[in-house]
Amino acid sequence: MSVTKNISVLGATGSIGVNALNVVRSYPDLYRIKYLTAHSQADLLIEQALEFSPKAVSIGDANQYEKVKQALPEVEVLSGRNGLLELAGRDDVDTMLNALVGSAGMEPTIKSIQAGVDIALSNKESLVMAGDYINGLLKKYEVDLYPVDSEHSAIWQCLLGESPEDIKRLVVTGSGGPFRTLPIESFINITVDQALNHPNWAMGRKITIDSATMMNKGLEVIEARWLFHLPAEKIDIVIHPQSIIHSMVEFLDGSVKAQLGLPDMKIPIQYALSYPRHLKQDWEQLDLAKIGSLTFEAPDLKKFKCIQLAFDALEEGGSVPVVLNVANEEAVYRFLNEEISFNAIPELITKAIDAHEFVEHPELNDILALEQWTQAFIKRS
């Protein structure tokens, strides 16, 4: 790899965004940052822009536009939702890294595809809400989409050189989160601080709660369905508390391939940018003798109701995964605000799915309308 890649990072100030900039910093000749966006952390965005000299940045909170503009007189500064969508739609980059959180990340994915820009996708919610639609666009615009999510990066790597018809099933691994061994009777008392305390991964607040409810695994099964073009029956979950095996593929002859590594998102982020190369890094390497043992167990679907909700949503299809995703997101924010209990998260999602008007083949405008309906529904429930 000798040609410099121009990259935009949407959601640069988040957990994935900051890790992506760490990767970029280590290969200044290979990667050039062209666009950066942030929602509200103007100070960090300014700091990043001063270091990486992008052509333009966008700050979501329009009240902070003046502050960013004054700090970056040489840089084009945009703001608000339109600023984000504008930068997502620019075609003068090679790869757009979507490190946005939640349903807000879906339209930027679509804009980049329509601009013919390849995507490194961390925002799994894009595919959960609009997987079928996005796959159609990828084909139409001949755009490549590379997964950043560690499980999907693992499956992608296991599938390189293989024939799709030889796949028996995908096995998505999950740590089980902080409540893997907590009895179901105690779930009612789970506090926000307990739920934010993930055993293996340091991540943004929304995905950390998704990991505690295990909705994250459910969303990842839906993500895998669209990324790898396989039905839900061919996607299983296994709990692996050490988070060393990031996922596996089982083939028809009984052979199973796995991808291993320390739980550090910099590895799959870099691979999505450096594919097909695995570029050298000095970060801590996997030492299996130090890890000692790798263990596995079946997921507890009675305790973690969100997993079953996601499988059901995939089976029902149409608009159900849209409502599942948005209802989950809104319920998670209400839990983080201490307005609802941990157990209320799957309850509210179920209520929203039952109450919504089913659409068999949602188009983009249906998806956006359902997003608004679901947000309002959860806020008043």
> Where does this chain bind ligand NAD (CB under 6 A)?
11-17, 38-39, 41, 60, 84, 99-101, 104, 122-125, 149, 201, 203-204, 206-207, 265
Report if residue 125 touches Mg ion, rule: CB under 5 A: no
Residue nearest to ligand NAD (CB): 14
Which window, 130-138, 142-150, 264-272, 334-342, contacts Mg ion (CB under 5 A)?
A: 142-150
Nearest distance from C-beta of residue 123 to ligand NAD, angstroms: 4
Residues in the chain: 381
Can you read off the two tokens belonging to residue 189? Answer: 């008392």
Report the DSSP beta bridge partners of residue 62. Answer: none
Nearest distance from C-beta of residue 206 to Mg ion, angstroms: 13
Contacts of 307 (CB under 8 A, 6+ apart): 214, 215, 217, 218, 221, 237, 299, 301
Residue closer to ligand NAD, measured from CB, 101 or 378: 101
Residue closer to Mg ion, measured from CB, 243 or 374: 243
Nearest distance from C-beta of residue 152 to ligand NAD, angstroms: 9
Look at the alpha carbons of 176, 215, 147, 38 in this order and tell me if their dihedral is positive or negative.
negative
Classify 354 as helix, strand or coil.
helix
Residue closer to Mg ion, measured from CB, 210 or 250: 210
Residue closer to ligand NAD, measured from CB, 118 or 264: 264
State the CB neighbour count (10 A cutoff) for residue 205. Answer: 16
Report if residue 149 touches Mg ion, rule: CB under 5 A: yes
Can you read off the two tokens belonging to residue 258? Answer: 């796995």
Nearest distance from C-beta of residue 99 to ligand NAD, angstroms: 5
State the CB neighbour count (10 A cutoff) for residue 226. Answer: 22
State the CB neighbour count (10 A cutoff) for residue 307. Answer: 24
Q: Which does 155 bind (CB under 5 to 8 A by kind): Mg ion, ligand NAD, none?
A: none
Residue closer to ligand NAD, measured from CB, 204 or 318: 204
Can you read off the two tokens belonging to residue 175? Answer: 């740590």
Nearest distance from C-beta of residue 268 to ligand NAD, angstroms: 8
Interatomic CA distance for residues 27 and 281, integer angstroms: 10
Return residues touching Mg ion (CB under 5 A): 149-151
